[in-house]
Amino acid sequence: MKSIRKNPVGALLYDYGMITAGAVLYVFALKVFITPMQIPSGGIAGLALLCNYILGLPFGVVTIVMNVPLLLFGYKMLGRDFFFKTLYMTVLSSVLTDLAGFLPAYDGDILLAALFGGIIKGVGFGLVIRSGGTAGGSDVISKYIFRKRSIPIGTTNMTLNVCVLLMSAFFLKSIESLFYGIITQYVVSVVMDHIIYGSDVQKEAMIITSKPDEISQAVLSELRHGVTAIEGKGMYTGQERTILLVVIRRHETNQLKKLILNIDEGAFMMLSDTSEVLGRGFKHMKID
């Protein structure tokens, strides 16, 4: 697989293959779980579904028509490769949706439909975005914001899509549909972020201490992680302080806390999640 992706043609075929798989999963989730239960979706797809539910208009055609302005925006702002991959995903998924009437419609519990529809749709969208495209609609805006502000795509999608969900609930006159739509969209965003960024969430610790040498030595010897010292100054006291930066695995958090507490009870530590750690002691650095 790696050798195929090192070749430009092989890499292109791989990306479009993943986008095709993502489109198939998306259409499956839509036709089997989401549409039969009239669960609203966000973004352009949500507006197209609303037109389908209320006016009976073909979902695929409406999706393509609504996506044209955003695709042009994507071409101008995000580049040629992004444009053609997104165009391929939009057209393929729209055509497949209108042709996939043979798929069996799930008619069981609506909550299960919302959950499984969200999981499958999230996997599909994640594959598409990892391959350099989007499903069109709000995904174009989300990817643009991610490139400019590094805000996770799933998080931005969730925010943008709530407005469409509210509109769908209003026209469908069903507050329950809003709740199920939010559940589905939340599951989509979580699964999508997991597919795009992976599950390598670790902890980054910034430690302000009067005993930097002792803590550094303890981290190096007991946790076997590297430590970076940054010289700083407390603006309230005017004193020079050393800030230690260290990345640890999640299960090592309590061990680090105990280690610092035993050496310097007055230390100040900030812990934050870091979505991916590459390098010695963690994941090998590579391009997906």
Q: Given this model, what pLDDT does residue 199 score? A: 60
pLDDT score of 281 more than 60: no
| 24-48 average pLDDT score | 88
210-247 pLDDT, tens digit each = 888 999 998 888 888 888 888 877 777 777 778 899 88
Helices (H), ranges, the chain = 2-6, 8-29, 43-55, 59-78, 80-99, 110-130, 138-149, 153-172, 175-197, 212-218, 253-263
Q: How far apart are CA 282 and CA 248, in angstroms?
A: 9
| 169-174 average pLDDT score | 82
pLDDT score of 288 more than 70: no
Q: How confident is the model at residue 283 (pLDDT cuts 50, 70, 90)?
A: low
110-168 pLDDT, tens digit each = 999 999 999 999 999 999 988 888 777 776 777 778 777 777 766 777 777 788 888 88
Identity of the amino acid at 229: A
Q: Given this model, what pLDDT does residue 115 score? A: 96
CB 238 within 8 A of CB 202: no
Picking from 31-40, 75-84, 207-216, which range would have the lowest pLDDT averaged per residue?
75-84
Q: How far apart are CA 243 and CA 240, in angstroms?
A: 10
